[in-house]
Amino acid sequence: MINPGCSTTRHLEEGFSGMFRNGWNPQATLAEFAVSWGFLWYDISIIPTSPQSGPGNCLSLEDCKKHTGGVGFNTPIQIAPSGCTTITCLVDGCVDAYQYPTDDWKTHACPDTTPNVDVTFCPGGSSVVETPAPTKPKCPRRCTASLRS
């Protein structure tokens, strides 16, 4: 966990597969990573879930919300690997994020020699992001994690 306004650095080894999120709530914007086959794979996910079930076979963000009763998005986020494609999700329904389980074209890859990847929660600093109700995440302060593969 990264405290508001702080930063941290993590080294991701070959075989790593995991995610980072703001807080412990499963209704969260996720920064997902895997290091395999010489690549660092990364994406943002806003797929809604529920305590009773996952999203199942839903085929849209709205379908997943109806199926789970969840929201998925909770915090604006940006993933910026040096020398590779930067992806950003500032609002619910953003185009750079996975919105349903088979939204696979949202995954990006960099050589695993990429020197670092900055993951920023609340890019742009303190703000309240205007999104459709009931999702109005508050960003107390910008938080950054630097990842190295």
Q: In the chain, what's the furthest Cα-to-Cα distance? A: 41
- Give the pLDDT of residue 115: 75
In this structure, what token pair is assigned to residue 106? 């949202």
- Specify if 81 maps to a domain: yes
Q: What is the dihedral of CA 72, 77, 80, 84, to 10 degrees?
A: 40
- Specify if 41 maps to a domain: yes
Question: In the structure, what pLDDT confidence band is assigned to residue 64 with cuts at 50, 70 and 90?
Answer: very high
Rounded average pLDDT over 17-32: 87
Q: Which helix (DSSP H) or strand (DSSP E) does residue 144 occupy?
A: strand 143-148
Rounded distance, CA 31 to CA 79, Å? 7
Q: Which residues contact 126 (CB under 8 A, 6 or more apart)?
A: 139, 140, 141, 142
pTM, entire model = 0.81
Domain that holds residue 87: 7-148
- Specify if 2 maps to a domain: no
